[in-house]
Amino acid sequence: MNHENPKRLGTVVCRNESPNVRGFSFVIEGESGNTLVRRGQFVSVPFQSGIVIARVSEIIQTNRYFQQAEAVREYQLRGEPLRSVFPTDRWQYAVAEAQVLGFWVNEKSARATTSVSPGAVVRTIDDDILHRFLGLEGDEGLNLGTLVHHAINFSPSVDSLLSKHLAVLAMSGAGKSYFVSVLLEEILSRKRDEGRLATIVIDVHGEYSYLKHVTAKDLGLEEDAFEIEHIRGTHIQIPASSLSADTIASFVAKMSSVQRRELRRIISIMSNESNSYNLRGIIDVIRNDQTINKNTKEALIGWLINLEDTHLFGKEGVPYLPNIVRPGKITVVDLSDFISLKKKQIIVSYLVGDLIYKRRQSMIPPFLLVLEEAHQFCPESRHELALPKSKIETIAREGRKFFALLCLISQRPVKLSTTVLSQCSNQAVLKCTNPYDLEHIGRSSEGIDRASLDAITTLDVGEALFIGNSVTVPTFVNIRKRKFNPSGTETTLSDAIRRADKS
């Protein structure tokens, strides 16, 4: 951390009804002034018994010689650039606009209640004060990166980052999965005495299967304390006995109320007799039932045969969750073998339901469920088919009470259920340019301000804005590099075609 004396950056000026309680502008020191101060940087202004802490939201270059378009054009026409006639460089300067975040008085943060004065000197901020002002924790937390423009580690604790759900939102290619890989590395690096989290990753595109190659040495750990299991979606088996008539009805379109009633009756007979049967068993009972009318019988059998053909259902549940949800273990459920969204939804719906049930019964430890492409499983729109939606909403609403936690990742925040998004007390937002997505993020996260929202469009790959419990004000972070880099993942089209041509 930087503990040098705060450097002078500029002087507060009167401009556009500022300085006021919310913000101020300052002329940046130096000739053209643009090297000293950066957008997003935190600054301080000494004030009474403490300091005002602000963040630069905009930098405007100005030069009085270039204010009159007509004059500039006139000199252009004459073939004499203004620069050759007037000392234009001397009049070049920059004004920064800063948004006030609060006061720091008597080693404590306080709400801003009055404005800085014109003429006040703006300075850099002591890293230690900034660290405390932002409510950042010590370095023993999850080491995710460093604050943009400041040499300060961003290491939130599991409590502040994960205990009330996390949403990772950004456009495609902005670095969501990369950030999640870094988060998973940190989760794996936790020591037994710190408490290790059980993690399940629903990996829609097979992006995390590389994790099975990660060793303790790769992460710089002495002890091989963690375990990683990779499960292919095709190995998952959903017990037919877990399916209610309503669940089966949700898998098929347009089941009539009569058909549903009959199916309910059959399933209740079966579950009274045994708690282990497969779809074939249900089909046989329906076939031999004398009371169901012929059309209903045929329709039900037809649907059940179709479901059987998906090969997703069996007698027993596989895997048995208490075997895979364990402290210090990451289980990657790789759904990349499935093309059908519906099959993926059926599996996610079953897993989420089983996770909630077994966690409530204390059959599994507290866990983190990482869900890629969350908008496909939990969409906002009621018109889209989404089997797992109500279960994910249940975890979002109630899971924090029994530590069933979510990390939801989405490249289309606007399509993600608002109920779920507003329950995520932490959000990591990477670059996002779609105005609808930005508006949705703005609406669903308290505490995000206009300036931060605007800055999201200009973020670089790997830069994230953290909003929520882990920080007192929205904070920009450079996500650190991964310790383990999977080999053989092509990042560019040219890499991919070169490799394809070689083989």
Residues of this chain that interact with ligand ATP (CB under 6 A) are 170, 172-178, 411, 461-462, 479, 481, 491
Name which of 178 and 484 has its Cβ closer to ligand ATP.
178
Give me the half-sphere count of Cα atoms (radius 13 Å) on the Cβ side of residue 295: 4
Name which of 313 and 338 has its Cβ closer to Mg ion.
338
β pairing state of 238-239 and 313-314 = parallel
Name which of 320 and 436 has its Cβ closer to ligand ATP.
436
Name which of 9 and 169 has its Cβ closer to Mg ion.
169
Question: Minimum distance between the CB of residue 322 and ligand ATP, rounded to whole angstroms?
Answer: 31
Q: Which does 462 bind (CB under 5 to 8 A by kind): ligand ATP, Mg ion, none?
A: ligand ATP
Question: Minimum distance between the CB of residue 178 and Mg ion, rounded to whole angstroms?
Answer: 8
Q: Rounded to an integer, what distance in angstroms lies between the CA atom of residue 21 and that of residue 23?
A: 6
Name which of 43 and 348 has its Cβ closer to ligand ATP.
348
Return the number of other C-beta atoms located less than 10 Å from residue 301's C-beta. Answer: 16
- Within 233-362, strands assigned E span 238-239, 313-314, 329-334
Q: Which does 359 bind (CB under 5 to 8 A by kind): ligand ATP, Mg ion, none?
A: none
Name which of 236 and 479 has its Cβ closer to ligand ATP.
479
**Packed helices 279-288 and 294-309: angle between N→C axes, nearest 10 degrees:** 170
Name which of 312 and 430 has its Cβ closer to ligand ATP.
430
Question: Minimum distance between the CB of residue 177 and Mg ion, rounded to whole angstroms?
Answer: 3
When asked if residue 410 is in the footprint of Mg ion (CB under 5 A), the reply is no
Among all chains, which residue has been given the structure tokens 């209740």?
Answer: 268
Q: Rounded to an integer, what distance in angstroms lies between the CA atom of residue 53 and that of residue 123?
A: 10
Question: Minimum distance between the CB of residue 391 and Mg ion, rounded to whole angstroms?
Answer: 23
β pairing state of 227-232 and 329-334 = parallel
Name which of 190 and 344 has its Cβ closer to Mg ion.
344
Q: Which does 322 bind (CB under 5 to 8 A by kind): ligand ATP, Mg ion, none?
A: none
Question: Minimum distance between the CB of residue 207 and Mg ion, rounded to whole angstroms?
Answer: 6
Q: Which does 160 bind (CB under 5 to 8 A by kind): ligand ATP, Mg ion, none?
A: none
Q: Which does 318 bind (CB under 5 to 8 A by kind): ligand ATP, Mg ion, none?
A: none
Radius of gyration of the chain (CA): 29
Q: Which does 168 bind (CB under 5 to 8 A by kind): ligand ATP, Mg ion, none?
A: none
Question: Minimum distance between the CB of residue 203 and ligand ATP, rounded to whole angstroms?
Answer: 11
Question: Minimum distance between the CB of residue 377 and ligand ATP, rounded to whole angstroms?
Answer: 15
The closest of 415, 468, 476, 404 to 440, measured between CA atoms, is 415
The closest of 272, 302, 308, 273 to 286, measured between CA atoms, is 302
> 70 in helix, strand or coil?
helix
Among 44, 153, 155, 177, the residue binding Mg ion under the rule CB under 5 A is: 177
Distance, C-alpha 215 to centroid of its chain: 26
**DSSP annotation of 88:** G
Residues in the chain: 503
Question: Minimum distance between the CB of residue 210 and ligand ATP, rounded to whole angstroms?
Answer: 12
**DSSP assignment of 132-171:** HHTT---TTS---EEETTS--EE---HHHHHTT-EEEE--
Dihedral sign from CA coordinates of 107, 110, 113, 118: positive
Site residues, Mg ion (CB under 5 A): 176-177
